[in-house]
Chains A and B, each alone.
Chain A
Amino acid sequence: MWGILRQRAVVDGGLSLRRTRSALVSARSYAAGSKEMTVRDALNSAIDEEMSADPKVFVMGEEVGQYQGAYKITKGLLEKYGPERVYDTPITEAGFTGIGVGAAYAGLKPVVEFMTFNFSMQAIDHIINSAAKSNYMSAGQINVPIVFRGPNGAAAGVGAQHSQCYAAWYASVPGLKVLAPYSAEDARGLLKAAIRDPDPVVFLENELLYGESFPISEEALDSSFCLPIGKAKIEREGKDVTIVTFSKMVGFALKAAEKLAEEGISAEVINLRSIRPLDRATINASVRKTSRLVTVEEGFPQHGVCAEICASVVEESFSYLDAPVERIAGADVPMPYAANLERLALPQVEDIVRAAKRACYRSK
């Protein structure tokens, strides 16, 4: 079965194959279990198990049913649960988001898929003014157990209107919880937690990670598996510099950590997993250990997630810092299409390595 998955990765294009191979390389360094799973299958199995456990959970979005999902995340669910629980919507993000919110008001648990979070802009009023604020405005009378999920951030060669990262936008709103998985285990555990959570959750996936395989433990494969919301994971321990990031950039940070290790710098890589609530305790504890901070994100620099992390560290751990905080983000331009320009607009492993070295006074 895993052989077939790997083959599918090859068919998707050379790019995916490279990524699968590199994932295996990093997996080898700390793989505990012998099983592997792609992020796509992790998400699919999480939704499947939660739908099976709770009849109130249902999936809604464009192409989620008969087409098996625009990115095949909802594959097989229509056959298993029927059209009432896997609902193909007309093309109206505002419409189906509003409907999802209404259904949640009435006690169901919708999992609303946006084909990409860029299209959630057409529905953002329902997400912010209705879903996020209702529990507070109604003094607890109306809770909204809804999950908004879909690919977020840059893909490959899809241009400005398909590449923006919305983590900072949604994470600034009280009332929402915002999650960003990296590995298959993250995907399973966090999506299950999101579906079970009584609050509205924005679940930011990454299209390029869907096909990537990760090792997965027996515990994570269990249907009751769940990760806590609001807790970051230390992916790699280190003592010289703390690298904090989320989603796809975690993979880049791990590669950067390998490169830094060759030069004698021991980097600690933190996978945020949860953007809101932000695990400031873990971040600050790490910085107090290493005295240096590098934060990385794909999104636009101004008012980004990294800005918040830097502010938190400067406010709470200022006297522990031995170097200025380093922030790496995407270029302050709408994402260009041409491959060379796109590469320049996104953080690369070399950028992270250079920033870590700067923080360690090893380069200008």
Chain B
Amino acid sequence: MAIWFARSRNLVSSLRQNLGLSAILIKRNYTSPRPVFTNYQLSSRVFLNPFTSFRHESTAVETQPDLVQQSDHEDDAQELDFPGGKVGYTSEMKFIPESSSRRIPCYRVLNEHGSIIPNSDHVPVSEKLAVRMYEQMATLQVMDHIFYEAQRQGRISFYLTSVGEEAINIASAAALSPEDVVLPQYREPGVLLWRGFTLEEFANQCFGNKADYGKGRQMPIHYGSNQHNYFTVSSPIATQLPQAAGVGYALKMEKKNACAVTFIGDGGTSEGDFHAGLNFAAVMEAPVVFICRNNGWAISTHISEQFRSDGIVVKGQAYGIRSIRVDGNDALAVYSAVRSAREMAVTEQRPVLIEMMTYRVGHHSTSDDSTKYREADEIQYWKMSRNPVNRFKKWVEDNGWWSEEDESKLRSSTRKQLLQAIQAAEKWEKQPLTELFNDVYDVKTKNLEEQEHGLKELVEKQPQDYPPGFHI
């Protein structure tokens, strides 16, 4: 054993002599360096790519540093054949560090002041599209606020807001085509809003009344609409990920010009289904866009307790999936990234992973009080200074496409429409008793028919046991 170590020490010293490397370099292979944020342009380039003198390829195009640092040692010229292909070998025992020296950067187009960063890559957005996007983001804000209040007043049993994630909701929806099939998690009602679901339809679902397309079968916010290619929200976390791979496979088999798009939170990526869904989509070469809303919190679990990787974007390469990290509070960046990812997915028939960095300003849901596990100051900071709606509004206003008058008109009319929708939805009668037994199967089975008949008889015989106006 001692001899082996001596040998390796000689190897290291011979390396040092041959390649003229500094001691810091060797150490870097075994320890994880602290990320350097100041002067990183100059210094990290040296740290990151110590072999620049030996590598003669341009690094300008690289958007993320290689996870494995290559050695130019002679041995690499020989390759070994293993199942899975040829792989070069090295006599240098080198562990891939648990993290890169630099975190994957975030793609951004608009700065915090709502101005486009010069020379940024982005897909241009017309006035018409930009105004529509802004209006929908503001509408989503008003809708969330009013439904949340309605729950607090006891008029609906449950609600979940998307406060802080309006850019992700609306801009991603704007970048997709209507034929793309969306499998949401639960914090993406804005996608459905963009596709044309009306405020009345949202209210009907929350109240579970007779006009609800879900026929009162599901709790609030579990919207779904075949017409809008938005699959009904399902509560178990991450089940939509392998299902999206399945939808992508179906679209691929039927050669449709469409992809599956699915959303997941940072916490949901811990589920086994995340691994299965991404792995499978890559193997099947299915056209799926996986969008992860990394908003920092899974109810009370902070991301530092959820995973130890550099977020979710680095997991893409582990599955052979192209990935990008985007500033989720920048509507233009979200739009461009989703637009490009969608094109890649459909034309190249491959999955793509997008991690959107954002912050969950609201509580997890109406059953949660997040001030119990995080500072109120933190919430305020993100709500006021890092607000995606304000940021986009600034850009739209600076272009002369939106005014304060438009703003107050939109907010007050949306608020009025929502209040009316809620009042109407509340008054609308609930589903009749027959809906208890429908849709369990495509065609009601005999035992269900018998049960329905029995229940109807019972209600007629004992009306005093049932609430007045109980519909059969």
Whether A130 sits at the interface, judged by CB under 8 Å, is: yes
Q: Given that A103-B247, A198-B442 are known contacts, is A96 also in contact with B239, CB under 8 Å in the complex?
A: no
The distance in angstroms between the C-alpha atoms of A260 and B236, with both chains bound, is 51
The 8 Å CB contact of A92, one of B181, B251, B279, B446, is: B279
Chain B residues closer than 8 Å to A105, beta-carbon distance: 231, 243, 246-247
Chain B residues closer than 8 Å to A4, beta-carbon distance: none
Whole-angstrom distance from the CB of A91 to the nearest CB of chain B?
A: 10
Whether A150 sits at the interface, judged by CB under 8 Å, is: no
Chain B residues closer than 8 Å to A58, beta-carbon distance: 253
Interface centre among A102, A136, A278 (most CB of B within 10 A): A102
CB 8 Å contact bits of A128-170 with B (1 = contact, 0 = none): 0110001111111111000000000000000000000000000
The distance in angstroms between the C-alpha atoms of A107 and B247, with both chains bound, is 9
Query: Are B273 and A98 closer than 8 Å at their CB atoms?
Result: yes
Whether B14 sits at the interface, judged by CB under 8 Å, is: no
The distance in angstroms between the C-alpha atoms of A297 and B225, with both chains bound, is 43
Whether A84 sits at the interface, judged by CB under 8 Å, is: yes
Q: Given that A94-B242, A94-B273, A98-B273 are known contacts, is A139 also in contact with B217, CB under 8 Å in the complex?
A: yes
State which residues 259-284 of B face A: CB under 8 Å.
Answer: 260, 272-273, 275-277, 279-280, 283-284
Query: Are A108 and B253 closer than 8 Å at their CB atoms?
Result: yes
Whether A14 sits at the interface, judged by CB under 8 Å, is: no
- Nearest residue (CB) in A for B251 is A106
State which residues 47-76 of A face B: CB under 8 Å.
Answer: 58
Chain A residues closer than 8 Å to B242, beta-carbon distance: 94-99, 101-102, 126
Whether A327 sits at the interface, judged by CB under 8 Å, is: no
The distance in angstroms between the C-alpha atoms of A177 and B244, with both chains bound, is 24
Whether A79 sits at the interface, judged by CB under 8 Å, is: no
Chain A residues closer than 8 Å to B284, beta-carbon distance: 87, 99
Chain B residues closer than 8 Å to A198, beta-carbon distance: 442
Chain A residues closer than 8 Å to B408, beta-carbon distance: none
Query: Are A98 and B246 closer than 8 Å at their CB atoms?
Result: yes
Query: Are A277 and B445 closer than 8 Å at their CB atoms?
Result: yes
Of B117-125, B291-299, B433-441, the stretch lying at the interface with chain A is B433-441
Whole-angstrom distance from the CB of B177 to the nearest CB of chain A?
A: 16
Query: Are A174 and B280 closer than 8 Å at their CB atoms?
Result: no
- Nearest residue (CB) in B for A103 is B246
The distance in angstroms between the C-alpha atoms of A277 and B445, with both chains bound, is 7
Whether B333 sits at the interface, judged by CB under 8 Å, is: no
Chain B residues closer than 8 Å to A143, beta-carbon distance: 442
Chain A residues closer than 8 Å to B225, beta-carbon distance: 141
Query: Are A137 and B222 closer than 8 Å at their CB atoms?
Result: yes
Whether B232 sits at the interface, judged by CB under 8 Å, is: yes
CB 8 Å contact bits of B278-311 with A (1 = contact, 0 = none): 0110011000000000000000000000000000
The 8 Å CB contact of B438, one of A100, A125, A140, A230, is: A140
Query: Are A177 and B273 closer than 8 Å at their CB atoms?
Result: no
- Nearest residue (CB) in B for A106 is B250
Whether A7 sits at the interface, judged by CB under 8 Å, is: no
Query: Are B224 and A138 closer than 8 Å at their CB atoms?
Result: yes
Chain B residues closer than 8 Å to A126, beta-carbon distance: 239, 242-243
The distance in angstroms between the C-alpha atoms of A104 and B245, with both chains bound, is 11
Whole-angstrom distance from the CB of A273 to the nearest CB of chain B?
A: 14
Whether B103 sits at the interface, judged by CB under 8 Å, is: no
State which residues 63-99 of B face A: CB under 8 Å.
Answer: none
Query: Are B234 and A130 closer than 8 Å at their CB atoms?
Result: yes
Chain B residues closer than 8 Å to A141, beta-carbon distance: 213, 224-226, 232
Whole-angstrom distance from the CB of A55 to the nearest CB of chain B?
A: 9
Whether B183 sits at the interface, judged by CB under 8 Å, is: yes
Interface centre among B225, B246, B272, B283 (most CB of A within 10 A): B246
Query: Are B217 and A102 closer than 8 Å at their CB atoms?
Result: no
Whether B241 sits at the interface, judged by CB under 8 Å, is: yes
Chain A residues closer than 8 Å to B399, beta-carbon distance: none
Whether A175 sits at the interface, judged by CB under 8 Å, is: yes
Whole-angstrom distance from the CB of A104 to the nearest CB of chain B?
A: 8
Whole-angstrom distance from the CB of A283 to the nearest CB of chain B?
A: 12
Whether B151 sits at the interface, judged by CB under 8 Å, is: no
Whether B364 sits at the interface, judged by CB under 8 Å, is: no
- Nearest residue (CB) in A for B278 is A95
Chain B residues closer than 8 Å to A130, beta-carbon distance: 234, 236, 239, 243
CB 8 Å contact bits of B208-235 with A (1 = contact, 0 = none): 0000111101100010111000011011
The 8 Å CB contact of B439, one of A101, A107, A140, is: A140
Whole-angstrom distance from the CB of A198 to the nearest CB of chain B?
A: 4
Whether A280 sits at the interface, judged by CB under 8 Å, is: yes
Whole-angstrom distance from the CB of A120 to the nearest CB of chain B?
A: 15
Query: Are B442 and A137 closer than 8 Å at their CB atoms?
Result: no
Query: Are B232 and A138 closer than 8 Å at their CB atoms?
Result: yes
The distance in angstroms between the C-alpha atoms of A140 and B283, with both chains bound, is 32
Q: Given that A99-B242, A139-B213 are known contacts, is A108 also in contact with B232, CB under 8 Å in the complex?
A: no
Interface centre among B234, B245, B249, B275 (most CB of A within 10 A): B249
Chain A residues closer than 8 Å to B283, beta-carbon distance: 90
Whether B447 sits at the interface, judged by CB under 8 Å, is: yes
Chain B residues closer than 8 Å to A110, beta-carbon distance: 246
Query: Are B232 and A136 closer than 8 Å at their CB atoms?
Result: no
Query: Are A103 and B250 closer than 8 Å at their CB atoms?
Result: yes
The 8 Å CB contact of A230, one of B249, B253, B260, B445, is: B445
Chain A residues closer than 8 Å to B232, beta-carbon distance: 134, 137-138, 141-142
The distance in angstroms between the C-alpha atoms of A104 and B250, with both chains bound, is 8
Query: Are A90 and B247 closer than 8 Å at their CB atoms?
Result: no
- Nearest residue (CB) in B for A136 is B439
The distance in angstroms between the C-alpha atoms of A174 and B437, with both chains bound, is 10
Chain A residues closer than 8 Å to B243, beta-carbon distance: 98-99, 101-102, 105, 126, 130
What 9 pairs across the A-B complex have the smallest Cβ distances?
Answer: A102-B246, A95-B276, A98-B242, A102-B243, A106-B250, A99-B246, A139-B215, A103-B246, A198-B442
Would you mind naming 16 contact pairs between A and B with Cβ atoms under 8 Å apart?
Answer: A95-B277, A97-B242, A99-B242, A99-B246, A102-B244, A103-B247, A105-B231, A130-B236, A135-B442, A137-B218, A138-B214, A139-B215, A139-B217, A143-B442, A230-B446, A277-B447
Taking Cβ atoms with an 8 Å cutoff, the residues of B that contact A are: 181, 183, 212-215, 217-218, 222, 224-226, 231-232, 234-236, 239-251, 253-254, 260, 272-273, 275-277, 279-280, 283-284, 435, 438-442, 445-447
Known pairs A92-B279, A106-B251, A125-B236; list 10 more (Cβ under 8 Å): A58-B253, A95-B275, A96-B280, A99-B245, A102-B245, A130-B239, A138-B214, A141-B225, A175-B440, A230-B446
Taking Cβ atoms with an 8 Å cutoff, the residues of A that contact B are: 58, 84, 87, 89-90, 92, 94-108, 110, 125-126, 129-130, 134-143, 174-175, 177, 197-199, 230, 277-278, 280-281
